[in-house]
Amino acid sequence: MPLPDRPIVALGEQRRGFGGVVAGLRFESTPKAGGVSNAELERRLLEMGFVEGARVEILHEGLIGRDPIAVRLDDMRVAMRRREACCVLIRPGARP
Amino acid sequence: MTVSLVARAPAHVDTKAPLRVALVGNPNSGKTAMFNALTGARQKVANYAGVTVERKEGRLIAPDGAPVVVVDLPGTYSLRARSPDEVVTRDAVLGRLEGEVPPDAVICVADATNLRLVLRLALELRSVGRPVVLALNMIDIAERQGLAIDQAALSAALGMPVVATVATRRRGMEALVAAARAAAASSGGAGDRWTEPSASDLRDLHHGAERILKATVRPPKRPDTWSGRLDGVLLHPVAGLVILLALLFVMFQAVFIGAKPIMDLISGGFAALSAGVAHVLPPGILRSLICDGIIAGVGSVLVFLPQIMILFLFIILLEDAGYMARAAFLMDKLMGGAGLHGRAFIPLLSSFACAIPAIMATRVIDQKRDRFTTIMVAPLMTCSARIPVYTLIISAFVPQRTLLGVISLQGLVFFGLYAAGIVSALLVAVVMRKVFWRGASEPFLMELPAYKMPDAVNVARGVIQRGQIFLRRAGTIILSMMVLVWFLSTVPGPPLGATRAAIDYSFAGMIGHAIEPVMAPVGFSWQMAVALIPGMAAREVAVGALATVYAVSGESAANLGANLAHHWSLASALAFLAWYVFAPQCASTLGVVKRETNSWRWPIILFAYMAALAYGSAFIVYQTAVALGAG
């Protein structure tokens, strides 16, 4: 089980090598992530597999501003901008 | 094991309508390879009515002689459509697509090594109430990795037949077709229970898929470590960019230089054909129409074909190998600054060779907004057809001097013209986003598929298909534009005893003279205005047109540059260069934009904004130069 005492953090603010388990999705009241609504972005993240309990690890970062990031998401790899990754909350630590 | 392509005794042939099967699956699931394996060469590629989504349909004959129609639907993660492609997939599966017969069965194509997301799609497809068969594709790779799938348990859990396949080797195709036919025949008609899933529905479906995955699939003993190791280099912030640039350099060289001999051969062949015809036919309007209109027009379409085929060879290879998503990752930040998608990079780069293959290559961009923005700015990149015009004017007007001992002034101007194209493309992209899409930018969220060795047959088929699409769709419209430009430049012919160039008496000449007052503020003489009209056929034609206008005006045509230097002021020459950076001087580009956007709206917007930019920049350059004493 993930360590319950570790604080929950946003995936978009983490560095390469960070790993953890998806704890939930969070959205600002005003949509930050471009032209789609929060509800739409939530469903897109879910469809890509960012579902509570999924294991995430940041594998690569872009050159400029360390953006975008490439993450391992369970057994696949996903590229995303940090803006969208900030909506994904992570409980740090490895799953057993 | 292959599907028999030979019908057996005609008595067995089903006289009813053929069974219709639709292929649905995640992107990168090998769906196109599956479609190729099922249908072979019997494919038709067209567009769905009213949208620019490609419609791919093929036929096969089952072993008992019954015909089966297979439709390859755009890849999707969910039936909840987010792009025009995905709308087609959803509506086709639901049987709501106008003018399309609903499928009798759906084949859900799954990458056996990456099942999580496709199992959720399979569960969603089940609620549509149509018979569904799950194809566990790339089962050979799964077996090599030691990934064990309990197919019977999976079939029971999903409530649909499961067939293991290897599309690239045509393994399991017969069993797949049989399963689809059996499923279609035994359809009890569960009815359509599909509604657009909410976030909590998606979570439930995902957890359902996870449970099935856990119960029926044993994780690989030897997981693919190659993709991770390759990514370590190819996605490296510095090394990755260097490799991408090197790859693009090779691609650009191949498109630009590799295609040259074939292009020369084609244009040479058409010139010879034209000369041959001219030899046979008497001089007159008919000979002019056939030689200068039709043969030259067909030649000007065909001449693009080598570039298009080479460009698409690279694009399809990179796409099938799984690299395209990495290129988009590496370029996303740079492109994103202008509101463009990472995937827009390759089309825009191709545009340095020619905007036509570039606009066709924007099909790699899924989102309509991103794609249309890219189409609209691609013609601003300095294509190879501008080079003859730039070379002519620069060598005639810019002195051969070096700055700081090493930098050639002529080279600097050349570079400046290229830079002006790139900077304006990025600025226009920003403006487009503000004006048309109200600042919206799509989220960048993209699967990085495992690297795979591209399959030669599938790549070849893809490249040939692109060539056919270009010839059929773009060819017709480009040809008709060419004939129109010929007509304007030729009719009416010069009167007997004409003293001026023939073109001066034609409609193009009349238009040139008519727009001369409009062009005066940008420093264009009537000769320059006239040369712009045939220049619409292709930018480099303007060079020949200038030669014609001045040569037959009684001047020596030996050195056009010297002639221009004699006739034009430096201010006019600079204005002409500024004009050519932006001007929509290419009927073919407008034609292909019409085809790719499926509306006249976008080519009209393209023409209007490029003409406005051209006029505005030429005006500023001319007036500034005159003020500085270069008039």
Closest approach of A17 to chain B, Cα-based (Å): 13
Per-residue pLDDT band at B1 (split at 50, 70, 90): very low
More confidently predicted of B226 and B354 = B226
Q: Is residue A2 part of a domain?
A: no
| Residue A96 in this model has a pLDDT that exceeds 70 | no
pLDDT at B440: 60
Q: Please, are residues B550 and B564 in contact by the beta-carbon 8 Å criterion? A: yes
Indicate the pTM of the whole model.
0.81
Indicate which of B331, B448, B451 best probes the interface with A, i.e. most A CBs within 10 Å of its own CB. Answer: B448
> Among residues A30, A40, A35, A42, which one has the least CA distance to residue A89?
A42
Q: Is residue A83 part of a domain?
A: yes
Continuous segment of H or E residues that includes residue B50: none
| Residue B106 in this model has a pLDDT that exceeds 60 | yes
| Residue B10 in this model has a pLDDT that exceeds 60 | no
> Among residues B187, B192, B78, which one has the least CA distance to residue B132?
B187
CATH number of the domain that B166 lies in? 3.40.50.300
| Residue where a domain terminates, one of B218, B249, B274 | B218
Indicate which of A16, A28, A46, A74 best probes the interface with B, i.e. most B CBs within 10 Å of its own CB. Answer: A46
Could you report the per-residue pLDDT of B136-167, keeping only the tens digit for each?
999 999 999 999 999 999 999 999 999 999 99
Residue B615 structural domain: 477-627
Q: Is residue A1 part of a domain?
A: no
pLDDT at B4: 45
For residue B123, the chain A residues in CB contact (below 8 A) are none
pLDDT at B555: 46
Number of domains in chain B: 2
- List of E strands, B181-335: 217-218
DSSP secondary structure code for residue B17 in this structure: P
Task: Report strand pairing: B162-164 vs B132-137.
Answer: parallel
Residue A32 structural domain: 9-92
Could you report the per-residue pLDDT of B19-42, keeping only the tens digit for each?
999 999 998 888 999 999 999 878
Q: Does A67 touch chain B (CB under 8 A)?
A: yes
Taking an 8 Å cut-off on Cβ atoms, the answer to whether A47 and B117 are in contact is yes
pLDDT at B11: 40
DSSP secondary structure code for residue B566 in this structure: H
Q: Please, are residues B521 and B566 in contact by the beta-carbon 8 Å criterion? A: no
Could you report the per-residue pLDDT of B273-301, keeping only the tens digit for each?
988 988 888 888 888 888 877 887 777 77
CATH number of the domain that A67 lies in? 2.30.30.90
| Residue B439 in this model has a pLDDT that exceeds 70 | no
Q: Please, are residues B30 and B167 in contact by the beta-carbon 8 Å criterion? A: yes
Taking an 8 Å cut-off on Cβ atoms, the answer to whether A46 and B206 are in contact is yes
> Among residues B243, B251, B453, which one has the least CA distance to residue B350?
B251
Q: Is residue B57 part of a domain?
A: yes
Q: Among all residues of chain B, which has the CA nearest to that of A66?
A: B237
Q: Please, are residues B550 and B558 in contact by the beta-carbon 8 Å criterion? A: no
3-state helix, strand, coil in chain B (%, to 5): 60, 10, 30
Segment among B432-441, B509-518, B545-554 with least mean pLDDT: B545-554
Q: Is residue B180 part of a domain?
A: yes
Q: Determine if residue B172 is left, alpha or beta; phi over 0 gives left, psi from -120 to 50 gives alpha, anything else beta.
A: left
For residue A11, the chain B residues in CB contact (below 8 A) are none
| Residue where a domain terminates, one of B218, B248, B279 | B218
Q: Which residues contact B80 (CB under 8 A, 6 or more apart)?
A: A43, A47, B86, B90, B196, B197
Neighbour-count burial of B505, counting CB atoms closer than 10 A to its CB (0-12 exposed, 13-18 middle, 19+ buried): middle
State how far the Cα of B500 lies from the Cα of B505, in Å rounded to an integer: 8
Q: Kindly list the distances between the CA atom of residue B233 and the CA atoms of A13, A60, A77, B247, B363, in Å, as whole numbers in the listed order.
A: 24, 10, 15, 14, 27
Could you report the per-residue pLDDT of B572-614, keeping only the tens digit for each?
999 999 999 999 888 888 988 988 888 899 999 999 999 999 9
User: What is the Cα B501 distance to its own chain's centre?
Assistant: 40
Q: Is residue A4 part of a domain?
A: no
State how far the Cα of B17 lies from the Cα of B13, in Å rounded to an integer: 11
Mean pLDDT over each residue of chain B, to the nearest integer: 85
What are the counts of helices (DSSP H) followed by strands (DSSP E) for chain A?
Answer: 2, 6
Could you report the per-residue pLDDT of A21-50, keeping only the tens digit for each?
999 999 876 554 456 788 888 999 999 999
DSSP string, B364-418: G--SHHHHHHHHHHGGGS--TTHHHHHHHHHHHHS---EETTTEEHHHHHHHHHH
